[in-house]
Amino acid sequence: MNRYGLVTVVLIAPALMFGCAKQPATMTTGAPAPTGMAVTGLSPTTARPESTESQPTGRSETSPLGADQRGGAGTSGTRPAPGEFVGVRDLVDVHFDFDKYAIRSRDAETLDANARWLRANKDAQVLIEGHCDERGTEEYNLALGDRRAKATVDYLVAQGIAPARLVTISYGKERPQCSEHNEACWAKNRRAHFLVKRG
């Protein structure tokens, strides 16, 4: 056996003896929290969005959230059934800045009007959907949509609405209101949408 043959045997023998790994090693990282600040228990005059903008850089190699993890709730702890809820003209959507979940002052006025409607309709159970634009990963946008819905709930609770009447769900970027690929369209998709449980 020549020298090259011996070197080949020496290099291949360990691989044959120990075999190859069945699966490649993977690294997982969690998606970072969105950078927006939620408004919790503040009056409209103290609700301020953050002034800095950042790109949605959340990246995760873990599996996306399952459907049963996408819904949140007020204090009931049960996942809402979206098919039981319908839109009501008097409850108006609120919108958010890019990559934020802070309630903006102009949207605080909308939420004040929504809170007045909820006080006048004391039996209404409300589902608040959190939505995002198409930019960013699915997992990141599900988390951001959840924070938007919860920031909206926090604002309404601060206005005297019972938390048990409010449930949330995040759709992330799954259900856009507008499908064009521009800022005007994306701004429409960054929203908290209101639905009322059928009577």
**What HEC string does the chain produce?**
CCHHHHHHHHHHHHHHHHCCCCCCCCCCCCCCCCCCCCCCCCCCCCCCCCCCCCCCCCCCCCCCCCHHHHECCCCCCCCCCHHHEECCCCCCCEECCCCCCCCCHHHHHHHHHHHHHHHHCCCCCEEEEEECCCCCCHHHHHHHHHHHHHHHHHHHHHCCCCHHHEEEEEEECCCCCCCCCCHHHHHHHCEEEEEEECC
Phi, psi of 174 (to 5 degrees): -70, -30
Q: Are 98 and 53 in contact (CB under 8 A)?
A: yes
* Amino acid letter, 112: D
Instruction: Report d(CA 194, CA 130) in Å as an integer.
Output: 9
Q: Is 68 exposed, middle or buried (0-12, 13-18, 19+ CB in 10 A)?
A: exposed
pLDDT at 47: 37
Instruction: Report d(CA 55, CA 75) in Å as an integer.
Output: 32
- Comparing CA positions, the residue from 144, 137, 159, 140 lying closest to residue 192 is 144
Domains of the chain: residue spans and CATH: 35-48+66-197 (3.30.1330.60)
**Burial annotation 21-50 (CB, 10 A radius, 16+ → b, else e):** eeeeeeeeeebeebbbbbbeeeebeebebe
Beta-sheet pairing, 94-95 with 126-131 = unpaired
* pLDDT digits (tens), the chain, 199 positions: 566 555 555 555 544 444 444 333 323 333 445 554 444 333 333 333 333 333 333 322 222 233 333 444 444 456 678 789 999 999 999 999 999 999 999 999 999 999 999 999 999 999 999 999 999 999 999 999 999 999 999 999 999 999 999 999 999 999 999 999 999 999 999 999 999 999 7
